[in-house]
Structure 1
């Protein structure tokens, strides 16, 4: 059995205040000397990155859709080892899932991990009704341990007194804190959620300010005590990582990490390393020389915010195009795919990109792909076996289009179906329900995957990098 103090923070909907509460608790407890491991329920990269900064340890994503059921307790146990407390931030409403049964919900995750739940409730213009809501949440699903509630956007002492008395006497759930109304979000938002910490200066003062609000208005000692009451967990049903693989050769895979591309699950990079790769950071924004590579991984991110700089960095654009033409194994997701196109259109301005694929992406005002996806592999590629169904997610405001020629005339024709490795069974993809553009050893998709949900991926990527390394000798 495994002792793991833990707590799930949940809300009734998006915007209830989960992220502020999670960040403040992680930061305040870490500042008090506790070893805090943050987790984010769902596929979100940005909130997870902020949680990692707040706690001083990388956050792990626990996603019941992307990961097989047996992988979630295994990953949680592995990542929470040697920590004093784990804080798991939920997503959406506590019972919101994939269907009417609430599969893949925050509540389902809490039951999987036998974790106490603290509900954050927006109490704007509400008193006794708050007790009815809390009582309803506590009784809605068997097996949910609603251990406490934190009230957000409370108006003043009288409002808080009535709320506390009503919830504790009528719903029987302890009130652990009451947050005041905050005039503006301390973390600015953008079209994909919270703004990247890579676009913020002075991140530490922001997090310290949030922690101060939480310290002043939430009973952190009771929060920790509730987490320590969580029952012991049984041993993991399966190891997170198989036995070390490879024959000792370590192909070098470049991972683009800069303000343009930085969406990576830590487990994806760890999987590549455990499969035998040596990872080196590279940037597509500056002119720093790259080492000799046997593979290249371009994650998602915000290339649209760096479009002018990317376009102006002609040497790297040409280098990436030449590497793709030479057969270097290149794997790109979402923002990485946008960079590999001919160009990127932002607010009507065209910015040339690497030109590996004959398409242009255009940033739109509304999401063009949003949510979980299922993609069947229908054509040979170095990374995913034909017939595999990939469980992934999409979150992009760009759409894929043909590239216009000079003077706005016809340009390159759109790739035909034979250029796509994925057929979308759920989700949008790039064009006509297809995703996963391929050329030579380059694969690019809007679909994001998690290595724990696609355990073949790292081995195949490393094998392709080894084969490329051998061919260059």
Structure 2
């Protein structure tokens, strides 16, 4: 049973101010000495990164669509253990989900966690109508605990007074905060939401500003009381994360019938997977990296922007990000572009998602300029003004590859403004058939070349447990073959 105080911040729609208020609350509570574990509901990298920075504790994503309920509860259990409060930022509108039933909505997550909900309302040009919204949300779904409301973007003293009087007269939902319009927006937005914390040079100053606003405008004691007044939550015991040792050949059953007798020397060597983490590519779910470590890999952070030589690696993970913002520097770093192409041709296991896929093409068209990329795949991608793929995905594996078994069906998400502008030839091998989502072309995704796999689909390792095992196994096989060739040389 978990009695950790917990709270979900939700809105009536996207853009209600959830993230700004969540960041201010996290930082203000941490400044009071509380240990706050932030969570972001749904698929998101940027908000989660900001939340982690605000709470000074890395955030995790809770997504009922991309991970089984047992995995989600275990993830929550591990994150909420030993903290003073778990704070979950919702996504979209409170009841907005995948279908007309609101499947996988923030409300559904709130009921699963038995967590009180504080509703954030954009009160621009409204007074009494806000009451109808609150009453509607409270009555719409049973077993949802609407515990409080924060009024956002209020105009002046008179507006605030009327709003509070209306809510107190017609409802029993407490007002726990009233915020003014914040102009200019402390964190600017662009096509994929907030500007990333990596691109905001004054991130700490911004968070301190939001914390001051939260202290001035939100009743922090009331927030803590709401979070504390929760029933015990029956959760699985947190799993102990262990890293398997391969110093003993008998612990590697996959090699029993391989035809190559592994040596003791082989298994004392570390299986090393490079992870690109720089201003161009940095979209990674922390659990994806944890699962790779759990399967026995050492992760080494690398950059596509630096000319520093790379250490020996046995696999490479290129996540998503904003390669378009660093296109000139990526293009100019020819030594790394050539190295990535050489490693792909050599058969290094490479897994690339979205921005990572864009880097593996021949070129990227951005703002009327063409930037050469790594050239692993004979195609060009172009940044567009509108989304080319947005939302949850369901993919079925139809072609052999090192990372996913044929026949597997798994969930993920995509959010990209780029598209392939080179006609995709018939001899190109696509490993994924998109049952939901766009992918690269005509419901195809997962372009493959030797041991390289590139796709627009982002996955979460807790929803695709075979992925990390397969990735590390492929890296180990690559390491073994290299060692075998070196021994025979």
Q: Determine the structure 1 residue equivalent to 2:355.
A: 335
Distance in 2 (alpha carbons) for counterparts of 1:418 and 1:240: 41
Give the match for residue 79 of structure 1: 79
TM-score, normalised with respect to structure 2: 0.93
Report the alpha carbon displacement of residue 470 of structure 1 after superposing the two structures with TM. 0.6
CA–CA separation in structure 1 for the residues paired with 2:214 and 2:430: 49
Q: Which residue of 2 aligns with 1:265?
A: 285
Residue deviations 1:237-284 (CA, integer Å, cap 9, x gap) = x76567654534431000000000000000000000001000000000
Residue pair 2:428, 2:447 contacting (<8 A) in 1 also: no
Within-5 A mapping of 1:133-148: 133-148=133-148
| Number of residue pairs the alignment of both structures matches | 462
The secondary structure found in structure 1 opposite 2:177 is strand
C-alpha contact 2:52 2:59 (8 A) present in aligned 1: yes
Deviations 1:89-111 (A, max 9, x none): 00100000011111100000000
Name the residue aligned to 2:273: 253
Q: Per-residue displacement from partner, 1:308-354 (whole Å, max 9, x unpaired)?
A: 00000000000000000111110000000000000000012110000
- Give the gaps of 5 or more residues in structure 1: 403-412
> 3-state DSSP class of the match of 1:104?
coil
Superposed CA offset, 1:66-97 (max 9, x none): 01122211110111111111110001000000
Residues 127-172 of structure 1 show CA distances to partners (whole Å, capped at 9, x for unaligned) of 2221121111111100100000000011222221221121122111
Corresponding residue number in structure 2 for 1:464 = 474
What's the secondary structure of 1:472's corresponding residue?
Answer: helix
CA–CA separation in structure 2 for the residues paired with 1:446 and 1:172: 46
- 2:392 matches 1:393: no
| Partner residue, 1:70 | 70
Once residues 231 and 316 of structure 1 are traced to their aligned partners in structure 2, the CA distance between those partners, rounded to angstroms, is 54
The CA distance in 2 between the partners of 1:369 and 1:235, in whole Å, is: 35
User: How many angstroms apart in 2 are the aligned matches of 1:349 and 1:240?
Assistant: 49
Partners in 1 of 2:429 and 2:184 — Cα distance?
A: 47
Residue in 2 that maps onto 1:367: 387
Corresponding residue for 1:432?
442
RMSD over aligned CA atoms reads 1.3
**Is the partner of 1:19 in helix, strand or coil?**
helix
Q: Distance in 1 between matches of 2:377 and 2:91?
A: 35
Residue 256 of structure 2 aligns with which residue? none
Partner residue of 1:446 out of 437, 443, 456? 456
DSSP 3-state at the match of 1:381: coil
SS of 1:416 mapped into structure 2 = coil
CA distance in 2, matches of 1:166, 1:74: 41
Contact 2:243 2:293 in 1 (8 A): no
- Conservation of the 8 A alpha-carbon contact between 1:358 and 1:415: no
- Secondary structure of 1:337's aligned partner: helix
Q: Residues 417 and 434 of structure 1 are in contact (CA less than 8 Å); yes or no, is this contact kept in structure 2?
A: no
How much does 1:232 deviate? Answer: 1.4
Q: Is the 8 A contact 1:282 1:290 kept in 2?
A: yes
Does the 8 Å contact 1:132/1:171 carry over to 2?
A: no
Residues 394-433 of structure 1 aligned to structure 2 (within 5 Å) = 394-402=414-422, 414-416=424-426, 419-433=429-443
Return the alpha-carbon distance in structure 2 between the equivalents of residues 149 and 417 of structure 1.
Answer: 56
Q: Distance in 1 between matches of 2:342 and 2:280?
A: 21
8 Å Cα contact 2:412-2:460 kept in structure 1: yes
Q: CA deviation at 1:401?
A: 2.3
Counterpart among 382, 389, 398 of residue 402 in structure 2: 382
Measured in 2, the distance between the counterparts of 1:244 and 1:18 equals 37
C-alpha contact (below 8 Å) 2:380/2:420 kept by paired residues: yes
How far, CA to CA, are the matches of 1:164 and 1:199 in structure 2? Answer: 38
**Alignment TM-score, normalising by the size of structure 1:** 0.96
- Give 1:9-28 correspondences, 5 Å limit: 9-28=9-28
**Hey, what's the Cα distance between the residues in 2 that align with 1:233 and 1:454?**
26
SS of the residue corresponding to residue 166 of structure 2 reads helix
**3-state DSSP class of the match of 2:168?**
helix
**Contact residue 252 and residue 293 of structure 1 kept, 8 A:** yes
Q: Distance between the aligned counterparts of 1:246 and 1:68, measured in 2?
A: 28
- Structure 1 SS opposite 2:329: helix
User: Could you list the per-position Cα deviations for residues 400-454 of structure 1 after superposition, in whole angstroms to 9, with x for gaps in the alignment?
Assistant: 122xxxxxxxxxx734265110000011111121100101110000000000000
CA distance in 2, matches of 1:443, 1:274: 22
Contact 1:71/1:240 (CA < 8 Å) preserved in 2?
no
- Counterpart for residue 262 of structure 2: none
Alignment of 1:65-464 (within 5 A): 65-236=65-236, 244-245=243-244, 247-248=246-247, 249=267, 250-402=270-422, 414-416=424-426, 419-464=429-474
Contact 1:14 1:92 survives alignment (8 Å): yes
**Secondary structure, aligned partner of 1:216:** helix
